Structure 1
Amino acid sequence: MSKKPFVIGVAGGSGSGKTFFLKCFLNHFKKEEICLLSQDDYYYRVGHTMTAEENKLYNFDLPSTIDNSQFVNDIKNLINGEAVYQKEYTFNNPNAEPKLLEIQPAPIVMVEGLFILHFEEISEILDMKIFIDTDEDIALQRRLKRDLIERGYPEGDVLYKWNNHVMPAFNDYLLPYKKQCDKIITNNTHVAEDIIEITSEISNQLRENILVL
């Protein structure tokens, strides 16, 4: 790459629809035009040794649960044109075999996660900051659907984490940075076309301004 990549940060709380936003966004580009680094893959791997009760009480929604040093190092490697190899985080699923992820550098580097704006060294790297905003009751329903169906957690455990871990972390480590973001995207609907239209507008701007020869 002949010039520094354009680095985009996408932050959003649990249940904000960030994953779907990212999927739509990436679909507007060729594989060699954009890459994505997710904070989720940088959790310290402690959950697989815990009992169900220990897992319920352990607070994964704190900056200290992330290997931020490695996270920052890998972001810088991508910016410097170097590939990154990182083991996939499987969210304490003992039946899942983690994949070795290969992230190749690209003209556009996307970084996503709950704490990317809180980590000052990451925030300073970002050329564009996007905040995915969602009403709390809608976010909770999405979280319940994911954790009950996809991950098999008891409803009581999900609600305990939501009230004691998820929302306090959102209020402390993400919400204070909302006004600093370049784009605030409200995602309270389940209408895919809305997000597709928004991601199309942003991607067109980037294509005109960043991917020009």
Structure 2
Amino acid sequence: MNKPYVIGIAGSSGSGKTFFLRSFLHHFLPEDVTLISQDDYYIPANTKTREENRLYNFDVPTSINREAFYQDIKQLFNGQMVYREEYTFNNPEIKPKMLAIKPAPILIVEGLFIFHYEEVNELLDFRIFLDAEESVALERRLRRDLIERGYDHDDVMYKWINHVVPSYKEFLAPYKPICDLVIINNTDDPKIIDDAANKISMDLREKKSDITII
């Protein structure tokens, strides 16, 4: 198959990446687009105690199996399926699924370090940066981690202050100027995200005539 058109999507924690991705994917037929997420390449930390897990920094580039992430992207370039166990953020109540990531004309690469990893950044045709004010992002992070991932409040705040914010400033914020599109999402207004997803999908129609825009 021809090289896919590769869209890189990164953003601060709590910037609304998940909602944006859902809105964006909604514009395409399943066979026309595929997603590979850096989150599924975390080096397992499930053998650590609760206290060790609280102190462990998941927000540094070395917490990801960088080589496997890159090689799987290249495998999709070559038209081959990728199989990867879903990462469940060490939540023992969630049984991980086996993900089957198929090659497609549009490849979305998502993750905190996708611009920092030079070999991944070089593969991207279009870069999207989602951002939000720190207070807004923290509120969203608390809502997600307390409810969806079963963390307690102290754990979330420790990681936010010591890991999340410093990592964002060092490994993501410096790449904001090189991105093709920056979306500021402070209001939780679905229209902002949906309008951006709609515009990008319409622009893609001109670049990829072999895909169907819904």
Normalised-by-shorter TM-score class: over 0.9
Separation of aligned partners in 1, 2:178 and 2:192: 23
- CA deviations 1:132-187 (Å, max 9, x no partner) are 01111100000011111222211111111000000000000000111010111111
In the alignment, which residue of structure 1 is the partner of 2:16?
A: 17
Letter in structure 2 aligned against 1:205: D
- Alignment correspondent of 1:109: 107
Indicate the residue corresponding to 1:36 in structure 2: 35
Instruction: Say which SS state the counterpart of residue 85 (structure 1) adopts.
Output: strand
Deviates more, 1:109-118 or 1:147-156: 147-156
Q: Which amino acid aligns with 1:166?
A: V
Task: Tell me what 2:126 maps to.
Answer: 128
Distance of 2:161 and 2:132 partners within structure 1: 16
Aligned residue identity for 2:93? N
- Residues 61, 165 of structure 1: 8 Å contact kept: yes
Which amino acid letter does the alignment assign opposite residue 82 of structure 1? Q
AA aligned to 2:23 is: C
Q: 2:170 matched to which residue of 1?
A: 172
Q: Any residues of structure 2 matched to 1:134-213 within 5 Å, and which?
A: 134-212=132-210
Unaligned runs of 5+ in 1: none
Cα distance, 1:52 vs. partner?
A: 1.5
The offset of 1:194, in angstroms, is 1.7
| Count of residues in Structure 1 that have an aligned counterpart in Structure 2 | 211
Distance 2:187 2:11 in 1: 15
CA displacement 1:90-114 (0-9 Å, x = unmatched): 1101122111100110000000000
* TM superposition shift of 1:211: 3.2
Match of 1:89 among 82, 87, 112: 87
